[in-house]
Amino acid sequence: MIRNDLRNVAIIAHVDHGKTTLVNEMLAQGGVFRENQQVQDRVMDSGDLEKERGITILAKNTSAHYNGVKINIIDTPGHADFSGEVERVLKMVNGAIILVDSAEGPLPQTRFVMQKALALGLKTIIVINKVDRPDARIAEVVEEMQLLMMDLDATDEQLDSPIVYCCGRQGTASLDPDHQEPNLNPLFDTILETIPPMEMDVEGPGQLLVSCIDYNEFVGRIGIGRIERGVIRANEPVCICNYNENGKVRTNCKIANLYQIEGLEKVPVERAQAGDIVMFSGIDGLNIGDTVCEPTKVEPVQFVKIEDPTVEMTFTVNDSPFAGKEGKFVTSRQLRDRLYKELLRDVSLRVSDTEYADSFRVCGRGEMHLSILIETMRREGYEFQVSTPKVLYKEIDGVRHEPIERFVADVPEDMTGPVFSAMGNRKGNLVQMTAIGNRMRLEFTVPSRGLFGYKSEFLTDTKGQGIMNTIFYSYEPYKGDMQRRNTGSLVAHETGEAVTYGLFNAQGRGILFVTPGTPVYQGMVVGYTNLSDDINVNVCKTKHLTNTRSSGSDDALSLVPVSKMSLEECLEFIADDELLEVTPKSLRIRKRILDSELRAKARAKEKVGK
């Protein structure tokens, strides 16, 4: 049966190229919103962190209707750290809209997502977005996209992909770069013409591949996927199997509730047929990659292999002097349960126990991937500690290999020097250098560990005018040792409350993180110094009172304003002998060994060992 009434399409692109904004307009013009309905910008970014950061973290399903055809649309993340989301949802669609900024052109994530779409044989539509930008270079970007497709070994049919020119924010589109139609009809028409209707076996036994998992406290795990064959009905028995589990089959399962997506709403249905993207609940222990089958024919569907993680961190129970004061969930059991629960939703994450009962090894795609998890957990009331991020090495033919990133920097012409210098120190190799107007685009391959903590330095070197992007490139032989941080820490010498007098004396040693009235403890990092060694400071020290001086004279002391570090900046800053204490209210950097004498002995022993 040919499903002329249905198209399944994913929108894929590099970060900030306008995917979610375009989906907003497609929904508005696809009849999802009422004419007078007030709708927020980027309505698909429903999570608090997505709204705050202006990024998409989780792939989301929606649908619009055009000329009697239902178009299921999947909005995908753009950051490389969440590319696992992109890989798995492409299994649910038979076409992809590849979005690219009219000025920036194809960037690292554009290459990654296009490679995945082409490898799956999906029909592709190239959309040049933001054509109203004053610095748009439409003809050049079209040529760059065609060269990229050739570089990725696209077929002749894929090379002939149609090109649509859009302005997502204004909701306009056209097949002519010099003239915009007042709506997105040219894009909708191109979707219907280019992405063929699916030919599905509706009569065969039911088969559904689970590509995503959601979780609800009331109904448990919610599976999301496309029906590959037959009809799936609510309240009928099914079997669960998995292509990668060697014939293991679970029987006596039943779908309790079945839903289809209409616009932004889940609509309960009794049945759905091959080609439909559905959500369902009622099956415990459901995992991404599982196949739901009718008991009469249990046949798993092959699931895409997700790329391995490249970065690891250790999550431990908080054991600082301030432990348990701000968090709701503080025990090792609660921490372990929460981390393993995250595996139900995030296919790119890996969690494993360690030899210590209160420590857990967490592996992800990058610093941002793990920082989103940390921020989500602290907002839920969890209190814990994390170690510095470390790359995951691989042993290949007896040689240690490390992950290499493709680093792309877009900087003003006169600011390339500091970038070249930084990349040289980080074992980076220049791949390409391209002039774009009065800016330069520099492409390097650089070890992943060389980019830890570099973002702040990059923004400083380029005076905030530089744009950097990275994506995993390959594994290559170990490039040698490199210094991760060239500054030392200012470490609190005693427990108490920071006072103006103590901070005034300490600020001459370096840059402080804390303000008067901040509770501190021995071993807590309160700032940093440009010297390579750590310095102990007493920020709780008060001025001795005499008959001529009063404590109120502290008010006359002038303190340098401090900058509060974000979670990502803290993760970039911490050294190997430090931990980040994460609570719902605070972020504190501390030494692993709090006592200064024990810390000095450990450092001396380490030098002797070397």
Q: At 14, is the secondary structure helix, strand, or coil? A: coil
Question: CA-CA distance, 10 to 42, in Å (whole number)?
Answer: 16
pLDDT of residue 32: 57
Q: Does domain 488-609 have CATH number 2.40.30.130?
A: no
pLDDT of residue 171: 86
Q: Nearest-CA neighbor of 370 among 287, 448, 428, 457?
A: 448
pLDDT of residue 12: 83
Q: At 100, is the secondary structure helix, strand, or coil? A: strand
Assign domain 394-477 one CATH number from 3.40.50.2020, 3.30.70.240, 3.30.1330.60, 3.40.50.2300: 3.30.70.240
Alpha helices in 9-82 (DSSP H): 19-29, 48-53
Residues 6+ apart with CB under 8 A from 56: 19, 20, 44, 45, 50, 75, 76, 77, 78, 82
Tokens of 113: 């997502």
Question: CA-CA distance, 320 to 322, in Å (whole number)?
Answer: 5
pLDDT at 220 over 80: no
Q: Check if the beta carbon of residue 385 is closer than 8 Å to that of residue 374.
A: no
Alpha helices in 12-73 (DSSP H): 19-29, 48-53
Q: Check if the beta carbon of residue 440 is closer than 8 Å to that of residue 411.
A: yes
Q: Give 211's pLDDT tier (boundaries 50, 70, 90).
A: confident
pLDDT at 513 over 80: yes
pLDDT at 463 over 60: yes
Question: Which range, of 242-246, 448-452, 521-525, averages the lowest pLDDT?
Answer: 242-246
Q: Give 47's pLDDT tier (boundaries 50, 70, 90).
A: very low
Q: At 187, is the secondary structure helix, strand, or coil? A: helix
What's the Cα-to-Cα distance from 385 to each of 94, 358, 378, 596, rounded to whole Å?
Answer: 43, 10, 11, 20
* Sign of the dihedral through C-alpha 204, 205, 210, 215: positive
Residues 6+ apart with CB under 8 A from 462: 411, 412, 415, 418, 419
pLDDT at 57 over 60: no
pLDDT of residue 82: 54
Q: Nearest-CA neighbor of 276 among 7, 556, 505, 569?
A: 7
pLDDT at 144 over 70: yes
Question: CA-CA distance, 242 to 567, in Å (whole number)?
Answer: 38
Question: Looking at residues 381-387, what average pLDDT do you find?
Answer: 94
Q: Give 552's pLDDT tier (boundaries 50, 70, 90).
A: low
pLDDT of residue 609: 65
Where are the chain's structural domains? 2-198, 207-293, 394-477, 488-609
pLDDT of residue 410: 85
The topology (CATH level 3) of 207-293 is Elongation Factor Tu (Ef-tu); domain 3 (2.40.30)
Question: CA-CA distance, 280 to 278, in Å (whole number)?
Answer: 7
How far from chain centre, in Å, is Cα 320?
29
| Fold equal for 207-293 and 394-477 | no
Strand partners, 240: 250, 292
Q: Give 360's pLDDT tier (boundaries 50, 70, 90).
A: very high
Q: Give 50's pLDDT tier (boundaries 50, 70, 90).
A: very low
Percent of the chain with pLDDT over 90: 24
At which residue do the structure tokens 């348990």 appear? 324
Question: Which range, of 110-119, 354-363, 531-540, averages the lowest pLDDT?
Answer: 110-119
Report which listed range, 239-253, 273-287, 300-314, 514-528, is most confident.
514-528
Task: Look up the CATH number of domain 2-198.
Answer: 3.40.50.300
pLDDT digits (tens, 9 = 90+) for 157-210: 888 999 999 988 888 889 988 888 888 899 999 999 998 888 888 888 999 988
Tokens of 302: 């092959």
